[in-house]
Chains A and B, each alone.
Chain A
Amino acid sequence: MDRVLCGIETEYGIALEGRGASTQIEDSKHFVRSYPGEVLSLWDYRHESPRNDLRGFRLDQLAFDPVDAKFDAGEVRGLDSETRSDRILTNGARFYNDHGHPEYSTPEAWCAAGLTREDALGEQILLETARAYAESTGLRTQVYKNNTDFHGASYGTHESYLCPRELGFDRLFAAVTPILVARIAYTGAGKAGAEEGAAIPFQTSQRADFFVEAANAETLYRRPVFNTRDEPHADPAHWIRLHVIAGDANMNPWSTWLKVSLVQIAIQLEKIGRMPRYAIKDPVRAAKQVSRSLESDARIELDGGRWTTADAILDSTLGAASQFLGGEFADVIEFWSDLRGDLRADWTRAIDRVDWCAKRYVIESAEPESIPAAQAIDLEYCNIDPEEGLYHALEQMGEIRPFTPEPVSGLTRAALRGYAAKHFPSHLVAACWRSLTFRREQGTLEIELRPDVEVPPSIFEILDVESFIETLLELNSWNPTD
């Protein structure tokens, strides 16, 4: 079966001494530019289409947070590309300033294990950048891998999954939405307090408070459970990039691996018409219920007056995976079965694999006297500095299970992007997820980076740009039916 190309983009929270949200866009720009490694700065925006909707229309404009709009009133900034400060890294990743947040977009990966390792590498990139920024500015600099400031501002951790265009909105929405709701119970990063609805001391998800609609193309405001942005970063005639914005930023790699694996399973099952159907009556309400149910026993209302639970959705999905997907996801099925048993028996048994359990454990250990004090601990759990962060303290104490899943072999198109950025930067005039554009004597040449092609390791032996271009063109002639 075809593999599902995937990626994760994480917007990090930044706390810079003496600075705040009103200056954050400028600060994040300088932060990103502090990255000390090799970069290429010629991101190509031509193929971006954030206002296109999978349902077949285009929005006039995207909604904007009104508080942020006040910050920006009267602000005059330079070119948008200057503010965004896109960097292409030599591993094929994208690092830039996204609405005031340093965002690390991983290189594409073929599997959840590979993607989890790329995501962890992103934390190292952010850490190196933070140290360089602190050294150059003299400001105390802290970076958080989380999704909220606890005062109503959220920032995202998005996942991307390449799907055949023929799946379309209706089938993807039906197949994936129940998984996005149910996986919160096992992969949520946990949050002290609530930013919407009734007060609660702790919930399993960072993001659930911010869902407003079941499906739409928004990301900054009125966020949906299922995002309908149609921006494939590949040939739109053949591909959809399922853009998942409902997940949390995870510190624990097992949580990242599981959340990605579950969506991949739903997509693979849907491709063969075997994804179990759960018509959730109100996905927004269901996501909030699962987030607020620490026992994971929330009743998820379905159309027609029936109901289900997160465990039932995951159980039937993984059962179908076992039956119809061969052994491809056997490790995920075994992992979830063990995890479910442990979590249901005693949530403290899952501290080593589930972020919300570990965070709850840390908070309860400290016996904070108020929700804001608990939120301070929540925030420091997500501090990416190994010398400061509370997650990292658990890891150093041996309380986090070492991450062991091995990536499947094979390079993705990210290897081409990264290799070109490192070895042929003077020959490039533009680059993005989808293509590389070269400067040649006879003019520029844009070459598609096909997302479905496995890149041979022999590319790393190519020393001249013309041979590299020739190889790219040969890869594009590959026929999957050959």
Chain B
Amino acid sequence: MEPDRLNRPISRPGERKLGDESGPSGPEVNKPKSDNELMRRLKKVDPDRAKNYRQRSGQ
């Protein structure tokens, strides 16, 4: 595994969830129908994809 440049964890179990910022609540998201192209592709996304994605620093 190539090195991680971060010094701090970016998340901790039990922390806020997406969209749970302070202030007024965001509106409900109208989720797309399950048979649409987006959902089809989302099902194929490997949840570990970003964990294993490493790049050189560019400019």
Contact = CB atoms under 8 A, between A and B. Distances in A.
A152 B10 CA distance: 11
Interface size grouping (class) on chain B:
35 or more
A53 interface: no
B56 A21 contact: yes
Given A67-B5, A195-B6, A365-B29, A393 B41 contact: yes
B10 A390 contact: no
B55 A372 contact: no
Interface string A254-297: 00000000000000000000000000000000000000011101
Given A98-B59, A199-B10, A150 B18 contact: no
B29 A101 contact: no
B27 A348 contact: yes
Interface in B32-59: 32, 36-42, 45-51, 53-59
Nearest to A65: B57
B42 A199 contact: no
Given A25-B56, A221-B57, A360-B19, A365 B39 contact: yes
A360 B54 CA distance: 22
Contact of A199 (B15, B31, B50, B55): B15
A259 B21 CA distance: 25
B2 A201 contact: no
Contacts, number: 185
B32 A397 contact: yes
A394 B38 CA distance: 6
A371 B32 contact: no
Given A193-B10, A376-B47, A390 B21 contact: no
A153 B38 contact: no
A294 B21 contact: yes
A225 to B, nearest CB: 15
A99 B58 contact: yes
Interface string B20-32: 1101101101111
A379 B49 contact: yes
Contact of A67 (B27, B29, B51, B57): B57
Nearest to B23: A295
B59 A245 contact: yes
A428 B20 CA distance: 59
14 contacts: A15-B53, A101-B58, A150-B53, A193-B10, A195-B5, A199-B9, A201-B18, A202-B19, A297-B23, A371-B11, A372-B11, A372-B47, A380-B49, A393-B40
Interface of A: 11, 13-15, 20-22, 24-25, 65, 67-68, 70-71, 98-101, 103, 148-156, 158, 192-197, 199-202, 219-221, 245, 293-295, 297, 346-348, 360-366, 368-380, 388-390, 393-394, 396-397
Which 3 residue pairs of A and B lie closest in terms of their CB atoms, listed nearest first?
A: A152-B5, A155-B58, A375-B50
